[in-house]
Amino acid sequence: MPSPRYWREIPARYRLEGARCKACERVVYPARSVCPHCRGRALEPMRLSRRGRVVTATVIHAAPDDFSAEAPYAMALVETPEGGRLMVQVVDCEPGEVGPGMEVSLAFRLIRREGHGGILCYGHKGVPLEDGT
């Protein structure tokens, strides 16, 4: 991942910064300039909570080269309490256990490396929440 592009993504990837449309109140993640729901142009920055619920999930067996060491791994569509949605890996559990309704916290993890000499790319992954946490 070329450095300038990675650097632009830092607010979204590190701090889960998205945007809320002032007109229709819906949340978009990552932020953008036009609301996809109502085409409003007034969006204000906001942050997603560091937790969410799995909407749907799969287990990737045939992985791209960058992720081959981690395969098989679970990937899930996670929705945060604010209504933001993101597609993240879910780790620290058996991949097959990840299913709709599972509550996860969003933990800061290393997502990929650009080979041996490139930069390290960070982001968030889901970690199942234990009952009562």
Partner 1 sequence: MRDVAMVGAGMTHFGELWNLSLRELFAEAALAALESAGADHLDGLWVGNMSAGQFVGQEHIGPMLVEQLGMSGVPATRVESACASGGMALRAAWLEVASGQSEIVMAAGVEKMNDGADVTAVLASAADQEAEVYHGITFPGLYAMIARAHMAAHGTTEEDMAWVAVKNHRHGALNPHAQFRREITVEDVLGSSLVAEPLRLLNCSPVSDGAAAVLLVPLTRAHEFTDRPVRILGSGAATAAMALADRADPATLDAVMTSASRAYRMAGIQPAQIDVAEVHDCFSIAEICCTGAMGLTDGCNPAHAARSGFTALGGRRPVNTSGGLKAKGHPVGATGVAQAIEIFEQLRGEAGDRQVPDAHIGATQNMGGSGASSVVHVFARG
Partner 2 sequence: MAGIVGYGAYIPRNRITADEIARQWGKDPDSIRGGLLLQEKSVPGLDEDTITISVAAGLHALERAGLDPQRVGALYIGSESHPYAVKPSGTVVAEALDIGPEVHVADFEFACKAGTEAMFVALGLVESGRMEYAMAIGADTSQGAPGDALEFSASAGGTAYIFGREELMAEVVDAVSYTTDTPDFWRREGAFYPRHGGRFTGEPAYFQHVLSASRLILERTGLKAADFRYAVFHMPNGKFPLSAGKQLGFTREQLEPGWIVPTMGNTYSGSSPTGLAATLDVVEADQLVLITSFGSGAASDSFVLRTTELLVERRGRAPGVRAMLDGPRRYLTYGEYVKVREKIRMND
From the list partner 2, partner 1, none, which binds 110 (C-beta under 5 to 8 Å, kind-based)? partner 2
Return the number of the residue (6 or 103) whose C-beta is nearest partner 1.
Answer: 6
CB 77 within 8 A of CB 83: no
Helix (H, G, I), strand (E, B) or coil at 78: strand
| Residue from 1, 6, 9, 15 in contact with partner 2 (CB under 8 A) | 15
In degrees, rounded to 5, the angle at the alpha carbon of residue 38 between the alpha carbons of residues 34 and 42 is 45
Q: Which of residues 85-124 bind partner 2 (CB under 8 A)?
A: 89, 91-92, 107-111, 115-116, 120, 122
CB 107 within 8 A of CB 124: yes
From the list partner 2, partner 1, none, which binds 10 (C-beta under 5 to 8 Å, kind-based)? partner 2
